[in-house]
Amino acid sequence: MIPTDFYRGRRLRTSPAMRELVRENQVTANDLVMLYFVIDTDDEDFKKEIPSMPGQYQLSLKQLEIKVAEAVGNGLKALMLFGIPKTKDEMGSGAYDDNGIIQKATRMLKARWPELIILADTCLCEYTSHGHCGVVKNEYVQNDPTLNLLARTAVSQAKAGADIIAPSDMMDGRVAAIRAALDEAGFINVPIMSYAVKYASSFYGPFRDAAEGAPKFGDRKTYQMDPPNVREAMREAAADLEEGADMLMVKPGQPYLDIVRLVRDNFDTPVAVYQVSGEYALIKAAALNGWVDEQSIVMESLVGFKRAGADLILSYFTEDVLKVLK
């Protein structure tokens, strides 16, 4: 005899409609942020695929506009910009130049799509000749002298129309410095989404090709977090909140889902997660080989972020996913 009083989980899995009725998490267009690399060039037609990120490009302003137009048509609500300047220098002056590439791109996008949310990655590494995220002296990235430059960058980005400032440098005290500078410049309503918990990860490899921002010497381990650490993530998040961060981000995503969950459970601000370039490259490479089904594996990876507690997701798959959701 088969007992009949056991749990039958399968009852609620009998059809797509039944499964959807009891679904606990889902990814919507409102949760997604697309990422774009925009390059300062006189060649309007410039559109160069990034070898380690098939399907992602370095784009001229014009090509960016074309891509964003298509994505907006598919439901894009928010995007983050990374800039590749014409020239780089020791102090990363392209980052806080009011005519820098991010500033130009932000002005162009906001003029055409005022309702689109533009996130500005606030960092120096794409603009410094040495490729580090701050001012370098004796081969060491100097914390406090960098703060002023980050604050200038944030104000310049806000002036251009950026809706959210997202510092990704991991200097101590940057959120406080940026908040003070934004307020002083009159941008009291521009929120800060700090890359609060950002690990020194090998998963950023392809990004450094894309943004041409790899460090010329050493690595980022004296400022980004050590991957094995958990408690330290709570300290970083708490410190950024005390300094005035409005949202917290965890980065990378998939290898750090435990951290997403911890940040979710310990803080009541919105939590963002960044599915970084290496995560994109791994999925893409396997998909291009026919080893996995790209669309379903992407959706599964994104809903995993929601399950872990993320409110918003920064992903290079956003454009593709919007098409699927539509």
Q: Which residues bind ligand PBG (CB under 6 A)?
A: 121, 123, 125, 133, 168-169, 204, 207-208, 220, 276-277
Q: Does residue 123 have a known ligand-binding role?
A: yes
Active site residue 326: no
Count the neighbouring beta carbons within 10 Å of the beta carbon of residue 86. 11
Residue 272 burial by Cβ neighbours in a 10 Å radius (0-12, 13-18, 19+): buried
Instruction: Pick between residue 53 and residue 182 the one whose CB is nearest to ligand PBG.
Output: 53
**Does the annotation list 236 as a binding residue?**
yes
E strand or H helix at 166: strand 164-167
Question: Would you state the structure tokens that stand for residue 259, as one six-digit string?
Answer: 């951290």
Q: Is 126 annotated as a binding residue?
A: no
Query: Active site includes 88?
Result: no
Q: How far is the CB of 168 from ligand PBG (least distance, A)?
A: 4
Q: Which of 67, 77, 88, 198 is catalytic?
A: 198
By C-beta, is 163 or 169 nearer to ligand PBG? 169
From CA 58, how far away is CA 211, in angstroms rounded?
A: 8
Q: How far is the CB of 124 from ligand PBG (least distance, A)?
A: 8
> Toward ligand PBG, which CB reaches closer, 54 or 62?
54
Q: Is 316 annotated as a binding residue?
A: yes
HSE, side-chain direction, 13 A CA sphere, residue 44: 3
What is the C-alpha separation between 321 and 309, in angstroms, rounded? 19
Cα–Cα distance measured from residue 174 to residue 189, given in angstroms and rounded to the nearest whole number: 18
**Tokens linked to 190:** 């521009």
Task: Determine if residue 277 is labeled as part of a ligand binding site.
Answer: yes
Smallest distance from the beta carbon of 2 to ligand PBG, in angstroms?
52
CA angle 102, 172, 232 (to 5 degrees): 115
- Tokens matching residue 288: 């291009």
Task: Please check if 220 is assigned to a binding site.
Answer: yes
* Residue closer to ligand PBG (CB basis): 133 or 155: 133
As measured in angstroms, the least distance from the Cβ of 19 to ligand PBG is 32
Q: Considering the complex, what minimum distance in angstroms separates the CB of residue 121 from ligand PBG?
A: 5
Give the DSSP H/E element, type plus range, for residue 53. strand 53-59
What's the CA gap between 143 and 231, in Å, rounded? Answer: 22
Identified catalytic residue from 251, 306, 323, 326: 251
22 φ, ψ to 5°? -110, 10
Toward ligand PBG, which CB reaches closer, 121 or 243?
121
* Residues labelled catalytic: 198, 251
Q: Binding site for Zn(2+), residues?
A: 123, 125, 133
- Output the known binding site: 123, 125, 133, 208, 220, 236, 277, 316
Give the residue numbers of the binding site for Mg(2+): 236
